[in-house]
Amino acid sequence: MDWQDFARWGARIADWGRTYHETIRARPVRAQTAPGEIINALPVAPPTVGTDMEAVFADFETTVMPGITHWQHPRFFAYFPSNATPPSMLAEFLATVIAPQCMLWQTSPAATEMETRMIDWLRQSIGLNDTFSGVIQDSASSATLAATLTMREKALDWQGNQQGLSQLATLRIYCSNEVHTSVDRAIWVAGIGQDNLVRIPTQGATRAMDPASLDAAIAADIAAGLKPAGIIACTGGTGTGACDDINAVCDVAAKHDLYVHVDAAWAGAAMICPEYRDLWTGIDRADSIVFNPHKWLGVQFDCSAHFVKNPDDLVRTLAIKPEFLKTHGQDGIINYSEWSVPLGRRFRALKIWFVLRIYGLEGLQRMIRNHVTWSHELCERIRTTPDFEIITEPVLSLFTFRYAPAGHGDLDKLNQSLVDRINDDGRIYLTQTRVNGDLVIRFTAGQVSATREDVLLTLDVLKQLTGDLR
């Protein structure tokens, strides 16, 4: 392919993308292919002779697209949104064309310095005080791993990386059952071990960690000769939107001199609206925080904002400086590869810059407030619909409910059947979760192009498909 072909196909793919998004409502939200259907359509061996782009693109449409679940569909109400707005796509296209490797300041000065500024724009946008700086990670999972490694090293007086863990104290990390499974993986990768992740009971409608139980668990571990290292709290937990009492968690942490990391991967974006910040009162007391602009701010995946109060601790945990990675003759620069696990880094700051400039905070606030309002309206309509019950009340745009007709024995099986019917139907996409051991249906709105009508269509689908179940 020469550059003329590149330009021609770039324009054609842009036109295809416009049509795709303008007509996306006509597609089923979740891929309707059977397991193995896509791989069986792909040749077993690689081609020995190249082909023309026309044939490749035709195969893309016939082979790839049927197996795509449409995350940009306005009726994608499963998991959390993973938005991609037009300015974010264009920024990503430019970053792809330039293709910089942004591991060091000297390898991409613009990327490094823009990252510094964009992290601070995000900090200001969500109301954090200026004691925080930060870094753009690929995902909240990476940020939580980096925080867990930092907890480990601080607790071990910076000896874990040097000596290994086998001869050092047994560490303990504390969280509730409402945190994301990325916490479990971080514990594995950090070498702390699943058995040393201590689950604290939750309480109240917010399903927050019980601070008295947290304090008691830490005291018991100390008495048993174990070494508490840190606490991982959540704001807007994945299952039900659980929100820990950050002030109460930080009070316990201060008593025992422990590091606090807050996972707000989804809900953190909503903090651009000041009226929602009561969900994380006390957040400025945390040591580190993560939220994903790629979830609810319209920034293309992947893009995770990781804020830290003391970047020196993070760098001391992760930085390795061989001679070939040193920048000589430049003092005070930041090399963000020292703030993350991977050495290689993409130019993620560019898409934040595009999105914030094109929409402004007011445009993004309007979108989030609409999603919250429409979700609350849907919740109230489901609440008054016969045979349905609300299980957990809305947290921002997330709530859970259950189909519970009188006299039906196995409600778990019934609700899983309903979820399967909904997703096979294709008009909307929902997922299940468990609350107090019961299988329930989870709803969250957050797609950029969603309308009130898209959200409220959920109830029409529920009524029709439960009628079939009866």
Judged against a pLDDT cut of 60, whether residue 124 lies above it is answered with yes
Which phi-psi region, left, alpha or beta, contains residue 204 (left: φ > 0; alpha: ψ -120 to 50)? left
Q: Does 192 map to a domain?
A: yes
Cα–Cα distance, 321 to 44 (Å, whole number): 43
Question: Could you report how far apart the first and last alpha carbons of the chain are, in Å?
Answer: 57
Amino acid at the residue 345: R
Amino acid at the residue 8: R
Judged against a pLDDT cut of 70, whether residue 237 lies above it is answered with yes
Q: Does 277 map to a domain?
A: yes
Both 144 and 24 in one domain: the answer is no
Both 153 and 277 in one domain: the answer is yes
Both 79 and 106 in one domain: the answer is no
What Å distances lie between residue 206 and 245, 246, 375, CA to CA? 9, 12, 17
Predicted TM-score (pTM) of the model is 0.90
Q: Residue 29 sits in a domain of what CATH number?
A: 1.20.1340.10
For residue 30, what pLDDT is reported? 92
Query: What b/e readout covers 81-109, taking b as 16+ CB neighbours within 10 angstroms?
Result: bbbbbbbbbbbbbebeeeeeebbbbebbe
Cα–Cα distance, 38 to 385 (Å, whole number): 40
Judged against a pLDDT cut of 50, whether residue 323 lies above it is answered with no
Q: What is the mean pLDDT of the chain?
A: 91
Q: Does 387 map to a domain?
A: no
Alpha carbon 27 to chain centroid, angstroms: 25
Pairing of β 171-176 and β 197-200: parallel
Both 291 and 142 in one domain: the answer is yes
Both 196 and 268 in one domain: the answer is yes
Q: Does 311 map to a domain?
A: yes
Both 195 and 325 in one domain: the answer is yes
Q: Does 457 map to a domain?
A: no
Q: 95, 351 in Cβ contact below 8 A?
A: yes
Q: Which domain holds residue 217?
A: 101-346
Length of the chain in terms of residues written: 470
Residue with tokens 């993070």: 314
Nearest to 67 by CA among 39, 45, 108, 96: 39
Write out the H or E segment, with its range, that includes residue 173: strand 171-176
Both 54 and 125 in one domain: the answer is no
Both 21 and 130 in one domain: the answer is no
Q: Residue 210 sits in a domain of what CATH number?
A: 3.40.640.10
Q: Does 447 map to a domain?
A: no
CA atoms within 13 A on the CB side of 208: 19
Q: Does 110 map to a domain?
A: yes
For residue 106, what pLDDT is reported? 78
| Segment 359-374 mean pLDDT | 96
Judged against a pLDDT cut of 70, whether residue 322 lies above it is answered with no
pLDDT one-digit tens code per residue, 201-235: 998 888 999 999 999 999 999 999 999 999 999 99
Q: Does 455 map to a domain?
A: no
Both 176 and 319 in one domain: the answer is yes
Percentage of the chain modeled with pLDDT above 90: 76
Amino acid at the residue 375: S
Residue that is last in its domain, among 286, 317, 346: 346
3-state class (DSSP) for residue 444: strand
Nearest to 370 by CA among 273, 291, 303: 273
Residue that is last in its domain, among 301, 319, 346: 346
Domains contained in the chain, number: 2
| Segment 347-351 mean pLDDT | 91
| Segment 412-429 mean pLDDT | 93
| Segment 231-247 mean pLDDT | 94
Both 236 and 134 in one domain: the answer is yes
Both 79 and 116 in one domain: the answer is no
Strand ranges inside 6-107, DSSP E: none
Cα–Cα distance, 187 to 193 (Å, whole number): 6
Both 159 and 212 in one domain: the answer is yes
Residue that is last in its domain, among 346, 367, 389: 346
pLDDT one-digit tens code per residue, 59-115: 999 999 999 999 999 999 998 888 999 999 999 999 989 888 888 877 888 889 899
Q: Which tokens in the block code for residue 305?
A: 């904002």
